[in-house]
């Protein structure tokens, strides 16, 4: 045993000594390759995705590099169909009391389908309620915008009527107004600005008012 152990140690040392120059050579080659890769990486500019705008710009640049490539537009997601669950399963063997223990997998499968159907019905009802609430909010915002437009329109008409009445009274009295055109132009400018504001709507209201009302009265 002792001579075999000494022989094994002697051979292993010889192998390590003879193989060490090749290991050193490959180690030097690996360090040179890693340094070259590091040098190449320093030359290339690093692209950092800071914001969503940068990401969008990169996507557009990539898209415009090859304009002939067709753009794949995904289809609209289809609604999930609710599974049909039978009221009575006739192809199950068992006693008059019900299905046996050997057919329990059929019950579990039907129960899973029934749970999925009830979940789909609940999600559909919740979505319908949200849509209805959104439509009611839109109608309410539209009504508020129309009331606000009518109020401003009445105010403008009253102001124009008072100005015309004042002009007639001054004409009868023989007094000339200082700058009537400037007043009319200022009224027209204010009417135009208010009509534009009414068409744009406020920030809280998503529905825009009807611009034809302001155009007819301006």
Instruction: Tally DSSP H helices, then E strands, for the chain.
Output: 5, 2
Q: Which residue has the higher pLDDT, 209 or 173?
A: 173
pLDDT in tens, 140-159: 999 999 999 999 999 999 99
pLDDT in tens, 3-45: 555 666 665 655 554 444 544 444 445 555 555 555 544 555 6
pLDDT at residue 206, as a whole number: 46
Q: How far apart are CA 115 and CA 109, in angstroms?
A: 10
pLDDT at residue 146, as a whole number: 94
pLDDT at residue 120, as a whole number: 86
Q: How far apart are CA 94 and CA 103, in angstroms?
A: 8
pLDDT at residue 8, as a whole number: 60
Ranges 141-155, 175-189, 200-214, most confident: 141-155
Secondary structure string (H, E, C) spanning 145-176: HHHHHHHHHHHHHHHHHHHHHHHHHHHHHCCC
pLDDT at residue 198, as a whole number: 56
pLDDT at residue 155, as a whole number: 92
CB 201 within 8 A of CB 207: yes
pLDDT in tens, 74-123: 888 777 777 777 777 666 665 555 556 667 777 788 888 888 888 888 99
């Amino acid at each position: 045993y002792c001579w075999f152990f000494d022989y094994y140690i002697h051979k292993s040392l010889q192998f390590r000594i003879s193989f060490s120059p090749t290991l050193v050579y490959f180690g030097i080659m690996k360090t040179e390759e890693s340094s070259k890769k590091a040098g190449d990486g320093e030359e290339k500019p690093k692209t950092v995705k800071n914001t969503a705008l940068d990401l969008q710009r990169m996507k557009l640049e990539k898209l415009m590099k090859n304009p002939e490539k067709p753009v794949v537009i995904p289809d609209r997601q289809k609604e999930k169909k609710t599974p049909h669950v039978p009221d009575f399963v006739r192809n199950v063997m068992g006693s008059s009391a019900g299905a046996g223990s050997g057919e329990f997998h059929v019950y579990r499968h039907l129960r899973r389908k029934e749970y999925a159907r009830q979940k789909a019905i609940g999600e559909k009802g919740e979505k319908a309620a949200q849509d209805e609430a959104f439509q009611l909010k839109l109608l309410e915002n539209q009504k508020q915008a129309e009331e606000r437009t009518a109020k401003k329109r009445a105010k403008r008409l009253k102001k124009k009527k008072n100005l015309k009445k004042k002009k007639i009274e001054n004409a009868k009295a023989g007094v000339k107004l200082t700058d009537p055109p400037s007043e009319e132009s200022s009224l027209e400018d204010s009417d135009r600005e208010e009509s534009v504001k009414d068409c744009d709507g406020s920030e809280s209201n998503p529905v825009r008012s009807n611009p034809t009302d302001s155009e007819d009265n301006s």
